[in-house]
Amino acid sequence: MLTAPVLELDDVAVHLGGKRRWFRPSIPSVKAVGGVSLAVQAGEILGIVGESGCGKTTLGRAILGLQRETRGTIRLDGKVVSGQAPREARRLRRAVQYVHQDPGAALDPWWSVGHTLEEGLVITDGAKRAERRPRVEAALAAVGLEPSAGRRYPHEFSGGQLRRIGLARILILDPRIVILDEPTSGLDMSVQATVLNLLLEIRARRDLTYLFISHDLSVVRRLCDRVAVMYLGRIVEIAPATRTFGRPLHPYTRALLAAAPRLEPGGLKPVPIRGEPPSAARIPQGCLFAGRCPYVEPACIAEEQVLAPAEDGHEVACRRWREIEDGAPPTRDLAA
């Protein structure tokens, strides 16, 4: 029996910028996240994938509280944490921590690693110096680094070691939910494997929940329990990882997986999609993917497509998914 979700999002949207001007056209806001609803169970690894600019990182920042949500509700353990004053929001969301995409850029080059890790303890619970040092050494040991690493500076570490330091920086705060933003980008295959094994080991040891943001579909396939596919700020398909990769239903998901490189023969037949995603400042009516979808019909443009159950645990925002799965031919001339 499933327990209550540790994290719930209800119609969360994030709009950036925008300005109303006298006697001149207004500058529209960028709808970076356009209304996301999902629930994450404790101990789960939820993968979030999609093209660059689809809103994955902005969604993660909104969950953490670095980016203020424009509308919607975020709950942690059933308690509403959205819409709070900054100080109260930081207190309520302490259980959520974020591992940056570029850990080296997130570290102060003038501070030693130990000083950086201690700073988190000073800010969050005001721990005294005598208490901080053992906790720093324990956090470094948890990610496979020697205590002496605390006396060194960021430029003295390799990319894989910086990933470990980024993990140690948030583990010292004892989180329950960790948002991992491209944790293996820029690493060679052997170091990637080491980092992924470390993530799984830490998750099992500390009973953590991961939100795994990544472009690397091969890593998502092997690591994640469920996968949410984002397009233009919204989730267009969410399902267990085995179904997402074995039986994708949305045309965008199918195109995304077909474009991924693979060594084994077979797999999805590539169906090309045209052009670039529309501007997030001018969201089109109807289905967000209609302008690029090879299976588009007039009804797709007229009606907004929202997530709906396709089968148990599998939701998709496409009215034609059954026809597409049954082999319906494209309705648009791809050569045009």
- So what's the pLDDT on residue 335? 46
- Is residue 304 over pLDDT 80? yes
Instruction: Say whether pLDDT at 19 is over 80.
Output: no
HSE value, Cβ hemisphere, 13 Å, CA-based, for 142: 24
Give the pLDDT band (50/70/90) at residue 178. very high
Q: What is the pLDDT of residue 2?
A: 56
The answer, yes or no, to whether residue 330 has pLDDT greater than 90, is no
Are the C-beta atoms of residues 316 and 308 closer than 8 Å to each other?
yes
Mean local confidence (pLDDT), 255-259: 84
Nearest to 63 by CA among 131, 2, 14: 14
Query: Which residue is it, tokens 């980016």?
Result: 67
**CA 170, 171, 177, 181 torsion: positive or negative?**
positive
The pLDDT of 97-108, averaged and rounded, is 84
Q: Give the mean pLDDT of 285-309.
A: 88
**Least confident stretch, 2-6, 56-60, 114-118, 297-301:** 2-6
Contacts of residue 201, Cβ cutoff 8 Å, sequence gap at least 6: none
pLDDT band at 8 (very low <50, low <70, confident <90, very high): very high
pLDDT confidence of residue 4: 80
Nearest to 293 by CA among 279, 282, 305: 305
- Residue 292: pLDDT over 50: yes
pLDDT greater than 60 at residue 162: yes
**What pLDDT does residue 332 have?**
66
> Is the per-residue pLDDT at 262 higher than 80?
no
- At residue 263, the pLDDT reads 56
| Reported confidence tier of residue 1, pLDDT bands at 50, 70, 90 | very low
Q: How confident is the model at residue 187 (pLDDT cuts 50, 70, 90)?
A: confident
Quote helix, strand, coil % in the chain, to nearest 5.
35, 20, 45
Q: What is the DSSP letter of 329?
A: P
CA atoms within 13 A of residue 67's CA, in its CB half-sphere: 22
State mean pLDDT over 240-268. 81
142 neighbors 203 (Cβ within 8 angstroms): no
Q: In terms of residues, how long is the chain?
A: 336
Q: Is residue 275 very low, low, confident or very high in pLDDT (cuts 50, 70, 90)?
A: confident
Which pLDDT score, from 0 to 100, does residue 294 have? 86
Q: From residue 282, give the alpha-carbon distance in Å to each of 28, 152, 233.
A: 8, 48, 12
Q: By percentage, how much of the chain surpasses pLDDT 70?
A: 94
pLDDT at 225 over 80: yes
**Mean pLDDT score of the chain:** 86
Mean pLDDT of 39-62: 92
26-49 mean pLDDT: 91
Q: Which domains does the chain have, with CATH numbers?
A: 7-95+175-325 (3.40.50.300)
